[in-house]
Structures are given as structure tokens and as C-alpha cells.
């Protein structure tokens, strides 16, 4: 901001000079001095040539002398010369003033034209901005009206349907008990009881209406968690009365995740998943919150799962199901928007616990999320699904963020990038030979390509042929210190090997094709560019103990980011 300067006084001489400069003279005065002197000189010589006038006026002898007449003529011509010179100098000044006046007038006209052009341009920009703002306002107003209308309808349904809901829930509960007594429930734990599924769906619908009609979702969930904390504490103090408690304060996050993902899978995949879950549970027919079980690792047509047995979470299980369902459906939508498809593409879902938190991570291939969208992606009504055939409503990620805030957790978005790497592939053949190949991956426009040492080509695949069958393959890389060994290879059928990295997002694949006299090994670099959502929720025990959880790891960076918006006000 510029310093304020006091106005300075102007002297009288400077004022006269400024007046002279500012006043443009365009007129020229009459030469009065030359005219009067000419009349006097003409009269003088006229009298001298009339003797009777000289005698009448009694002129002295000096005036009549020739020297005096020459002096008068000289003075006259000097005055005429001076006046003519002054006249032309004054005329030049007038011409300069006129030229200056014309220049200033031209500058004024040019400035006026420039201002008119700017005003026309700015007027057009203002009109466009008005149209844009009005369209956005109408869009948001229309959306707000629709959302409020939806909330009012949901509230009306919830208010008037509470009696009907209780009747349906009671009927379904009795039907479920009768179904169990008739021993028709499948003992494999696949949850094939249709009445139980209908009862769970009805409870889920009611909880969704409950969240949709509340004024503050995060506050509503937080209050529910406080109520669950009290019941959970009573459950720990008196374990015998826990079975009689009508409110179940905790639940298993792995069970909630399986319930969420099962409707999104095919029927044959569901059977395989439940088989692995049953194998993980062992003798137990149902998973209990907080029980220690082996992890469930599953890879199907759409999903790749790594689910550890995590500590229990407080609250309503349907709230977590709603959060996970929106994230998984969002991942399915954008996985189909990938620039090109790969056979190995899967939505990777991971669940583990650490430092008093349950960690969920959901990864999908597809376009990255821009920084501008990252700041608005969780706002109500903002949707990233901008395609002709489908446009999102901006509710899914809003519910996700509100649920995470209600749990006092954290949600982060990570844009997964492809990385350059160098691999050492050691192929052991059954005839005793060992062949080692060094493969380097490089990036071209963000996509990985393979470059073998000594080769100038950059394909996406690298193939080698051997006369002897392959017995085992070892893969090591500069990015990972652990060497991966694969020895269970079928000598007659094709074997596909994926990178078993810690992130469960494979960066490479190996295909072994056994043939007569030519056993082919193909190494492929995989494109893993996509988006991963990280969610951390505090466990039931950590909330009960009141420990200071290490959640604010990036608090300094977040404060610096917020302070950037106010740096321009520091000088004030």
C-alpha cells in the first residue's frame, strides 16, 4: 500500500507559469506600435515637404536637418523590423499551440475510443459472468430445492411410517426365527436366509432415512457414538448382560465390509468369498467384533481383497456400510473410465488396524482427481461424474465425509502414479540352466514401457523363449528389497504370476506358456495410475480409553495451506 503524501503549496510565480502553459493562445494581436509610429513618421515627412506647414508650426532647424530625418527613418525601420520579427515569432507560437491543441484533442479521442472498446469488452465479460453466475445459482437453487424436497419427503415417510416399519420388522424377525427353528438355514454361513436379508435391508433403509432427515449428519453420528460408548462400557463391566442388551454398541468392520461388497459381486464369487471367510473363522459360525482371525485374501473378477481381523468399531453398522457402498460404487464407475483396459485390473480393497485406528483403503484404476476437485469433492451437490449418459447427484461422497467426521476420523485421497523401476528376473530351468534378465521400466506420457538392457525398443511386454521347461522364477527390484520366488509352475498349462507387493496393486505380471521345444516367458509392465481413498476410524477401545491418537500427522501442512490464503493481508 502506497504511503500517503501531503499536498505541497504552489508559489505565485509557479501558478502564473502553469496558467500560461495551460492556456492555449490561438489569437494574434494587432501591431499597434508599428501603426502609430507609421502615422507619426508619415505626418513628419509630409510636413517637411510642405513649406507653409513648417512656417506655420515653427519647427526648429534641427528637425529640418537631413541627419535628423535619417535618424527618424532608421528608428522607424528598426521598430518595423522588431515588430515584424515579434509578429512571426508570435505566429509560430500560435501554430505550436494549435498543433498541441490538435494533438491533445486527438489523444482525447483515442483515449475515448480505447475506453469505449474496453467498456465494450468488459461489458461482454460482465454479461458472460452474469449468465454463468445466474446459471450456477439456478442450478444450486434447483438442487437445494430438490434436496430439501427430498428431505421433507423422507422426513414425512419416516414420521408416518414408523408404525408400519415396526410391524414389518416384527414380522420379518418372527419369520427369521421360524426359519431357524425349521433348520432350513444354510450352515455354511452364506446368509441365505431370505427373511434375514429382508430384515437387514429394511433396517438399512430406515437408517438411511434417519441420516437423510437429520440436520447435521456428523453431529447425529457423534451423538449416537456417545450413547454406544456408555453401552459398550457397561458391556465390558458386565459381560453376562451383554446378550440381553437390545442395543448392539459395536460391530466388526470386516463383517460390515463383506456385507457391503457381496451385493456388488457375482454369485459364484460370493460363494468363494464366503468359503474363505468360513475358513478364516474356523469353528465359529459368525465373526464377533474384536476376535483375532487370519486375514482373508481374495481375488475375483472385479475385486482384490485383503481383509485383516480388525478391532471392533462403535456405532451403527449400517452407517459404515453406507460409507463403503458409496466408495465402492464410485470406484466401479471410474474404473470403467480408464483410458485402456488390462486383464489384471481390479478394485483393491484393504482393511487393517494400527495405532488405535481401523484403516480402509480402496483403489481403482482411472483418471486422477485434480487439486481443484479435491477441495470440492466432498461438498453437497458437487459431482465428478460429468458425462452425457450419467451425471452424479453429489450425495455419495458428501455422506462419506459426514460419516467420517461423525466418527472423528480422517479421509485422504491419493493419486497413484506409475514409477520407473529396474527388475532382475532369474529363470531357473529344469535342465539346470539359470538365466537372468535385467528389465528396466520407463515412462512415456505417464504410462510404463519396458526396456531391456542392450535393446533400443520400448515395448510394453518382454518375451524370452527357452528350450527347457521353467522350474522357478525369482523377481527382485530396486524398489523392494524382498525377492519374490515362484516355484509352483504348471509344466503343461499356462501360469500367470502377479506382483505380490505390499500394496496389492501389481506393477508387473509374468506369463509362462509351456510348449514343445519352446517355453515362453513374458514379462509385462502394468499401468497402475488411479486413485486410492484412505479412511481411518478410531476403534471402540481407543474411544473408550480416551487416548491421544496420532491422527494429526499432517496438521502443520494443513495449517500452512490455510495460512496461504491470508498472506496478502499481512501488510495491513
Query: How far apart are the C-alpha atoms of 452 and 474, rounded to whole Å?
Result: 17
> Same structural domain for residues 254 and 127?
no
Query: Which range among 108-122, 160-174, 177-191, 229-243 shows the weakest confidence by mean pLDDT?
Result: 177-191
CA 156 to chain centre: 37
Q: What is the pLDDT of residue 8?
A: 47
**Domain boundary pick from 138, 160, 182:** 160
Query: How far apart are the C-alpha atoms of 283 and 336, rounded to whole Å?
Result: 40
Range of the domain at 439: 421-528
Whether 54 maps to a domain, the answer reads: yes
> Same structural domain for residues 151 and 287?
no
In 135-151, which positions are buried (b, 16+ CB within 10 angstroms) versus exposed (e)? eeeeeeeeeeeebeeee
> Same structural domain for residues 381 and 312?
yes
> Which of the given ranges, 54-68, 210-224, 289-303, 317-331, has the highest pLDDT on average?
317-331
pLDDT at 160 over 70: yes
> Same structural domain for residues 426 and 412?
no
β-strands 303-307, 347-354 pairing: parallel
CATH number at residue 284: 3.30.565.10
In 34-45, which positions are buried (b, 16+ CB within 10 angstroms) versus exposed (e)? beebeeebeebe
Residue pair 300/235 in contact by the 8 Å Cβ criterion: no
Q: Which of 430, 440, 505 is nearest to 473 (CA)?
A: 430
Phi, psi for residue 232 in degrees, rounded to 5: -65, -40
Q: Strand, helix or coil at 378?
A: coil
> Same structural domain for residues 359 and 380?
yes
**What residues have CB less than 8 Å from 131, skipping those under 6 apart?**
none
- How many of the other CB atoms lie within 10 Å of CB of 322? 20
Per-residue pLDDT reduced to its tens digit, 323-339: 999 999 999 988 888 77
Confidence grade of residue 2 (pLDDT, cut at 50, 70, 90) = very low
Cell numbers standing for residue 153: 419427503
Q: What is the pLDDT of residue 536?
A: 95
Per-residue pLDDT reduced to its tens digit, 372-403: 888 788 887 777 776 555 455 677 888 999 99
Whether 181 maps to a domain, the answer reads: no
Domain count within the chain: 3
Q: Which of 224, 304, 333 is nearest to 506 (CA)?
A: 304
**Domain boundary pick from 128, 160, 192:** 160
Whether 166 maps to a domain, the answer reads: no
Whether 340 maps to a domain, the answer reads: yes
Whether 494 maps to a domain, the answer reads: yes
> Same structural domain for residues 45 and 150?
yes
Cell numbers standing for residue 91: 505566429
Measure Cα distances from 514 to 429, 462, 493 in Å. Answer: 12, 16, 7
Query: How far apart are the C-alpha atoms of 387 and 396, rounded to whole Å?
Result: 17
Cell numbers standing for residue 472: 522357478
Q: What is the pLDDT of residue 427?
A: 92
More confident position, 261 or 125? 261
pLDDT more than 70, % of the chain: 77
Per-residue pLDDT reduced to its tens digit, 21-66: 455 556 667 777 777 888 887 777 777 777 777 677 676 777 767 7
Per-residue pLDDT reduced to its tens digit, 424-459: 999 999 888 899 988 888 888 888 888 765 666 678
More confident position, 130 or 472? 472
> Same structural domain for residues 284 and 408?
yes
More confident position, 313 or 39? 313
- What mean pLDDT is predicted for residues 177-191? 60
pLDDT at 349 over 90: yes
Rg (CA), the chain: 47
Residue pair 29/86 in contact by the 8 Å Cβ criterion: no
Query: How far apart are the C-alpha atoms of 536 and 552, rounded to whole Å?
Result: 11
Query: How far apart are the C-alpha atoms of 91 and 196, rounded to whole Å?
Result: 110
> Same structural domain for residues 328 and 427?
no
Q: Which of 503, 465, 469, 501 is nearest to 484 (CA)?
A: 501
Residue pair 285/186 in contact by the 8 Å Cβ criterion: no
Q: Strand, helix or coil at 445?
A: coil
> Same structural domain for residues 404 and 256?
yes
In sequence order, the β-bridge partners of residue 484 are 475
> Same structural domain for residues 383 and 504?
no
> Which of the given ranges, 72-81, 127-136, 253-262, 489-498, has the highest pLDDT on average?
253-262
Residue pair 399/511 in contact by the 8 Å Cβ criterion: no
Query: How far apart are the C-alpha atoms of 208 and 205, rounded to whole Å?
Result: 5
Q: Strand, helix or coil at 66?
A: helix
pTM: 0.66
Query: Which range among 274-288, 304-318, 368-382, 556-570 shows the weakest confidence by mean pLDDT?
Result: 556-570
Whether 350 maps to a domain, the answer reads: yes
pLDDT at 265 over 70: yes
Q: What is the pLDDT of residue 4?
A: 42
- What mean pLDDT is predicted for residues 85-111? 86
Whether 140 maps to a domain, the answer reads: yes
Phi, psi for residue 468 in degrees, rounded to 5: -105, 150
Query: How far apart are the C-alpha atoms of 442 and 422, rounded to whole Å?
Result: 9
Whether 548 maps to a domain, the answer reads: no
> Same structural domain for residues 68 and 121?
yes
Residue pair 441/479 in contact by the 8 Å Cβ criterion: no
Q: Which of 310, 311, 303 is nearest to 260 (CA)?
A: 303
Q: Strand, helix or coil at 502?
A: coil
Q: What is the pLDDT of residue 316?
A: 92
Phi, psi for residue 288 in degrees, rounded to 5: -105, 150
> Same structural domain for residues 483 and 391?
no
Measure Cα distances from 147 to 205, 211, 212 in Å. Answer: 18, 13, 10
Measure Cα distances from 285 to 40, 191, 201, 257, 275 in Å. Answer: 141, 11, 21, 17, 12
Report the chain's mean pLDDT, rounded to a whole number: 79
**Domain boundary pick from 386, 417, 448:** 417
Per-residue pLDDT reduced to its tens digit, 529-569: 999 999 999 999 888 887 655 544 555 555 565 566 555 54
Q: What is the pLDDT of residue 364?
A: 93
Amino acid at each position: 500500500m502506497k504511503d500517503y503524501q501531503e499536498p505541497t503549496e504552489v508559489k505565485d510565480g509557479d501558478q502564473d507559469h502553469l496558467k500560461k502553459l495551460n492556456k492555449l493562445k490561438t489569437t494574434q494581436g494587432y501591431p499597434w506600435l508599428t501603426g502609430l509610429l507609421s502615422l507619426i513618421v508619415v505626418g513628419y515627412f509630409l510636413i517637411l515637404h510642405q513649406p507653409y506647414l513648417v512656417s506655420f508650426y515653427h519647427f526648429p532647424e534641427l528637425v529640418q536637418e537631413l541627419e535628423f530625418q535619417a535618424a527618424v527613418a532608421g528608428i522607424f525601420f528598426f521598430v518595423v523590423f522588431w515588430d515584424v520579427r515579434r509578429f512571426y515569432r508570435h505566429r509560430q507560437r500560435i501554430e505550436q499551440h494549435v498543433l498541441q491543441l490538435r494533438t491533445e484533442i486527438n489523444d482525447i479521442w483515442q483515449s475515448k475510443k480505447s475506453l469505449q472498446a474496453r467498456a465494450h469488452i468488459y461489458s461482454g465479460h460482465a454479461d458472460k459472468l452474469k449468465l454463468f453466475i445466474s446459471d450456477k445459482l439456478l442450478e444450486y437453487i434447483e438442487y437445494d430445492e430438490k434436496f430439501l424436497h427430498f428431505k421433507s419427503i423422507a422426513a414425512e415417510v419416516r414420521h408416518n411410517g414408523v408404525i408400519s416399519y415396526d410391524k414389518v420388522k416384527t414380522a420379518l424377525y418372527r419369520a427369521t426365527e421360524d426359519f431357524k427353528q425349521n433348520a432350513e438355514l444354510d450352515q455354511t454361513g452364506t446368509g441365505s436366509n431370505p427373511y434375514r436379508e429382508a430384515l437387514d435391508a429394511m433396517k438399512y433403509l430406515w437408517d438411511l432415512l434417519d441420516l437423510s432427515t437429520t440436520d447435521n449428519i456428523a453431529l447425529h453420528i457423534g451423538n449416537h457414538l456417545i450413547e454406544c460408548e456408555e453401552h459398550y462400557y457397561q458391556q465390558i463391566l458386565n459381560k453376562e448382560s451383554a446378550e440381553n442388551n437390545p442395543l448392539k454398541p459395536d460391530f466388526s468392520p470386516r463383517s460390515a465390509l463383506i456385507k457391503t461388497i457381496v451385493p456388488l459381486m457375482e454369485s459364484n464369487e460370493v460363494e468363494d468369498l464366503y468359503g474363505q471367510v468360513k475358513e478364516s473363522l474356523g469353528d465359529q459360525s459368525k465373526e464377533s467384533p474384536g476376535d483375532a482371525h487370519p486375514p482373508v485374501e481374495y481375488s475375483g473378477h472385479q475385486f482384490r481383497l485383503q481383509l485383516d481381523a480388525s478391532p471392533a468399531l462403535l456405532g451403527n453398522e449400517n452407517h459404515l456400510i453406507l460409507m463403503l457402498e458409496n466408495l465402492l460404487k464410485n470406484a466401479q464407475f471410474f474404473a470403467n473410465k480408464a483410458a485402456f483396459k488390462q486383464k489384471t485390473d481390479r478394485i483393491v480393497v484393504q482393511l487393517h488396524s494400527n495405532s488405535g485406528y481401523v484403516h480402509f483403503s480402496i483403489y481403482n484404476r482411472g483418471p486422477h482427481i485434480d487439486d481443484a476437485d479435491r477441495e470440492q469433492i466432498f461438498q453437497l451437490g458437487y459431482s465428478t461424474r460429468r458425462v452425457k449418459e450419467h451425471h452424479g447427484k453429489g450425495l455419495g461422497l458428501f455422506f462419506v465425509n459426514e460419516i467420517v467426521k461423525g466418527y472423528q476420523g480422517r479421509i485422504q485421497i491419493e493419486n497413484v502414479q506409475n514409477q520407473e523401476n529396474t527388475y532382475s528376473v532369474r529363470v531357473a530351468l529344469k535342465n539346470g540352466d539359470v538365466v537372468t534378465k535385467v528389465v528396466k521400466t520407463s515412462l512415456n506420457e505417464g504410462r510404463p514401457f519396458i526396456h531391456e538392457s542392450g535393446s533400443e525398443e520400448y515395448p510394453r511386454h518382454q518375451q524370452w523363449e527357452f528350450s527347457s521347461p521353467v522350474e522357478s522364477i525369482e523377481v527382485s527390484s530396486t524398489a523392494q528389497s524382498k525377492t519374490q520366488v515362484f516355484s509352483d509352475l504348471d509344466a503343461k498349462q499356462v501360469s500367470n504370476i502377479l506382483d505380490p507387493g505390499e500394496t496389492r496393486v501389481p506393477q508387473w505380471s509374468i506369463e509362462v506358456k509351456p510348449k514343445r521345444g519352446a517355453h515362453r516367458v513374458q514379462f509385462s509392465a502394468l499401468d497402475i495410475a488411479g486413485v486410492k481413498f484412505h479412511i481411518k476410524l478410531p476403534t471402540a477401545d481407543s474411544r473408550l480409553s480416551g487416548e491421544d491418537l496420532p491422527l494429526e500427522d499432517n496438521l502443520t501442512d494443513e495449517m500452512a495451506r490455510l495460512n496461504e490464503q491470508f498472506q496478502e493481508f499481512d501488510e495491513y
